[in-house]
Amino acid sequence: MKLKDLLDGVDVLSLSADPESEISGITNDSRKVKPGWLFVAVPGFMQDGSVYIDSAIKAGATVVVSETAREAEAGFVLVRNARSALSGIAANFYGRPSDHMTVIGVTGTNGKTTTTYLIRDLIERGLGVPCGLIGTNEVIIGDEATESSRTTPESIEIQSIFRKMLDRGIRHAVMEVSSHALKLHRVDDVRFEVGVFTNLTQDHLDFHESMEDYLQSKTLLFQKCMKGIINIDDPSANHIIENANCEVFTYSIRDMSADLVARNIRYSPSKVEFEALGIEEIYRAELNIPGRFSVYNGLAAISAAVTLGIPLMKAAAALRYCRGVKGRAEVVPTGRDFTVIIDYAHTPDGLENILLTLREFARGRLVTVFGCGGDRDRTKRPIMGSVVEKYSDLCIVTSDNPRTEDPVKIIEDILTGMKKKEKQVVIPDRVEAIGYAIKNAREGDVILLAGKGHETYQEINGVKYPMDEREIVQKYL
C-alpha cells in the first residue's frame, strides 16, 4: 500500500518521505519490523517508543511515524498524536473493515463480558447471521476462538481481527470497549453502529487521574457511535446522555420512563425471570444466570437486539437459550452438600453484586476467597475488604495477581478496610486458601472464589504460572 494512502485522514504535521513509496507492513513493535515496513513510535507507560526508532530502521523499516521530531535514516512522518495516527494507519492498511460491518461496543465497569456474549447469541439467533466477538476472555471469528491478552486489543490487532471477520463473511461483531482503549485511541477508527453502557463504579484509578476522567473516557464511545444504549439506573447515565452525539435508547429496572423496563423480576439459584416491557408491548424473559446484575445484562442485550431490528418478542424469547460465560457466576460441580462458585468480580461493586446474589440462596455460610491485583488501583483494596466483610460469614484473604507487588503488602491494604477479626482468615498462597475453604466447608455453604474468573494463571513478577481454580477445587475434593 502506498504511504499516502496509509496516511489518509491522519493528522500529519510534516512529511519527509516519498508519499508514493510502497509499505508492506505496519507495526508499533520494533521487534516485529520487517524490510519495507512502517514503524509507529508510540509513547509507552514504561518507555517511549521513539527510543526504538534506530532498532526499527536497522530491521528494515523504511518509514517512521513519531510525535517527536528527529533525524532518521528513513522516511519520517511527524504527527500530532502517535496513538491516534496508529489507529488511522491500521484502519487504512486493513481497508477500514468496520465501515462494512455492524459493530456493537459495550463499555462499563462491570458486565461487559457477559453482555457481549448475550448480544452475540441474540444476533445469531435473531438475525440468523454469524457474529464475531472481541473481549476479555477470547476473540471469536466463526468457529475459531483464541485467548485474549487484554479486554480491548491495540488498534492494529483490532483492525486485523475485523479484516479476518469480513473476509470470512462475518458482518456483525460485538466487542468490549475498555476506558483504556477509548482514552488511548485504540478504537478511534472503529465505526460503531451501537454503543452500550452498563454501569460505572470505582476501578482503574491507577490509570485514570480521577473518577471524572474515567467517566469522560467511557463517554467517548457515545460521541462516535450511531445509537447509544444506556442503563439509566446508573448515576453516571445523565452525564453520558447529555454528552452523547447519538440517538439514545434507555433501559432500567426502576424507571418506567425507560425505553425497556424489567418488571415482576423473579430470582432463583440458577436463573432470573422478568417481564420485558417495551413501548406498548411486554414479553416474558428468562436468563439462566442468577442475580440482579443478570437482569441488567439481559436488558442491555435485548436493547441492543431491538436497536438492530430484532423484534422484542423474538429477543426476549431467545434470551433463555443464551449461554453463560466462563468465570462469571460459574458453578463448579462438587458432588457435595456445599456449592463452589467462581466469579471474576474484582471491584467493590462487582463483589457486592455477586455476594448479594449468593446471599439470596445460601442455606449455610457465605465464604469468600479473594484478593486484589498488584500494580492496580490501591484505593479500592480496603473498600473491597469492607464489602466482602459486610456480606460474607467468613473472609479468606489471599492473593490475586500480585504482579510486581509483594502479596503481603497487598493483603495489608485490604485488611485496613476490615474490622471484624473473627471473620478473617489470611492465607497469602491462593491454592492453600482455596484448599482451606474446601476442607472447612459445611453443609449448605456457598464458597465464592472471587477475582480470577476465566483466568487460568497467576501472574507473579511478570511470569504467568498455571493456576486453574476448577482443577484446584477438584484436587481438594
Q: 467-477 burial, b for 16+ CB within 10 Å, e for fewer?
A: bebbebbeebe
Tell me the residue type at 252: S
User: What does the pLDDT look like over 286-334, one tens digit per residue?
Assistant: 998 888 889 999 999 999 999 999 999 999 999 999 987 889 888 898 9
Number of CB atoms found within 10 A of residue 196's CB? 33
Averaged confidence pLDDT in the chain: 94
The confidence band for 207, taking pLDDT boundaries of 50, 70 and 90, is: low
Alpha-carbon Rg for the chain in angstroms: 24
CA–CA dist 465, 427 (Å, integer): 18
Nearest to 187 by CA among 79, 84, 49, 89: 84
Taking the complete model, does pTM exceed 0.85, yes or no? no
Q: Which amino acid is at 432?
A: E
Q: Delineate the domains of the chain, giving CATH numbers in brackets.
A: 3-93 (3.40.1390.10), 97-321 (3.40.1190.10), 330-476 (3.90.190.20)
pLDDT at 362 over 90: no
Handedness of CA 122, 123, 125, 131 (dihedral sign): negative
Cα(169)–Cα(186) distance, integer angstroms: 24
> What pLDDT is recorded for position 176?
97
Give the pLDDT of residue 50.
Answer: 85
Q: What burial class does residue 176 get, using C-beta atoms within 10 Å of its C-beta: 0-12 exposed, 13-18 middle, 19+ buried?
A: buried
Per DSSP, the three-state class of 93 is helix
The three cell numbers of residue 447 are: 464458597
Cα–Cα distance, 351 to 110 (Å, whole number): 10
Q: How far apart are CA 285 and CA 263, in angstroms?
A: 10
C-alpha cell at position 265: 423480576
pLDDT over 60 at 204, yes or no = no
Give residue 290's pLDDT.
82
